[in-house]
Amino acid sequence: MNRLRVLRNGMLAAIFAVFVSACATSQDEIIDEDGAPLDGQSQAQTGAIDDGTTSIDGADASGIDDSSSDIATAIVDDTPKNASELLEQADGVLSNRTIYFEYNSAKLTDESITILETHGNFIAGNGEVSVRLEGHADERGSREYNIALGDRRAQSVRRVLLFQGASVDQVDTVSYGEEQPAMAGQNEEAWNKNRRVELIYQVN
């Protein structure tokens, strides 16, 4: 009886030892090289990362969006422009440099005065700038009369520029009368274009 009990206890001990050994082996298989245990979810996540640039869900984990390099950054240039740059602006406030007149008149319209006030302020603020005022007339009337009319128109423009602060040394006048028409033709459209004063700038 005692021998049977000893045999049974020995068999139980052997079975227990085998069980403990098997459990230890299974635990070793799920330990990574750093000694941290990995469950099934962790192993799946690790398998999804191959070179450090792909995240779990397959998205770019580098934090760099290549598309951002294609977006130009808007730079506002608020530095003061010099006189030449201001004059070269096709859509700037100084781009309108032709003043038109009514038939046989040297009187400026309110719109023309507003334009000339802008030019006068610009000339007054830029001592290196000079302007030549070229007076013109349409073909009606004698050559001598149109020369005089073109001069009166140029003088009307000159007075506004000087009133705005331009110096007499910066403003010159000349009259071409009917000799240099802006548009050829004997009709109202051509005549309207030819009754004018042109502002011709020079930056010294």
**What pLDDT digit, counting tens, does each position of 71-87 carry?**
444 455 555 579 999 99
pLDDT of residue 9: 60
Average pLDDT over residues 153-173: 98
Residue 102 shares a structural domain with residue 153: yes
To the nearest 10°, the Cα dihedral for 7, 11, 13, 14?
A: 130
Kindly give, in sequence order, each residue whose CB lies less than 8 Å from that of residue 81, ignoring residues fewer than 6 positions away: none
Average pLDDT over residues 111-127: 97
- CATH number of the domain at 91, please: 3.30.1330.60
What does the mean pLDDT of the chain come to? 78
Strand partners for 54: 60
- Say if 73 falls within a structural domain: no
pLDDT of residue 152: 98
pLDDT of residue 11: 64
Residue 91 shares a structural domain with residue 58: no
Residue 180 shares a structural domain with residue 148: yes
Instruction: Give the range among 3-17, 66-80, 99-113, 172-186 with minimum mean pLDDT.
Output: 66-80
Query: What is the pTM for the complete model shown?
Result: 0.62
Which pair of structure tokens corresponds to residue 191? 């005549």
Higher pLDDT, 16 or 99: 99
Residue 149 shares a structural domain with residue 194: yes
- Say if 109 falls within a structural domain: yes
Number of folded domains that form the chain: 2
Q: Three-state DSSP class for 47?
A: helix
pLDDT of residue 90: 87
- Say if 70 falls within a structural domain: no
Residue 38 shares a structural domain with residue 102: no
Residue 192 shares a structural domain with residue 107: yes
Return d(Cα 58, Cα 31) in angstroms, integer.
Answer: 25
Q: How would you list the strands of the sheet with 196-203, edge to edge?
A: 98-100, 196-203, 129-136, 171-177
pLDDT of residue 61: 41
- Say if 13 falls within a structural domain: yes
Residue 94 shares a structural domain with residue 27: no
Residue 151 shares a structural domain with residue 182: yes
Kindly give, in sequence order, each residue whose CB lies less than 8 Å from that of residue 125, ignoring residues fewer than 6 positions away: 165
- Domain span holding position 6: 2-62
Confidence of residue 43 (pLDDT cuts 50, 70, 90): very low
Residue 11 shares a structural domain with residue 109: no
Confidence of residue 7 (pLDDT cuts 50, 70, 90): low
Q: Three-state DSSP class for 114?
A: helix
Instruction: Give the range among 29-33, 86-90, 134-138, 179-183 with minimum mean pLDDT.
Output: 29-33
Q: What angle do CA 90, 96, 97 make, to 5 degrees?
A: 115
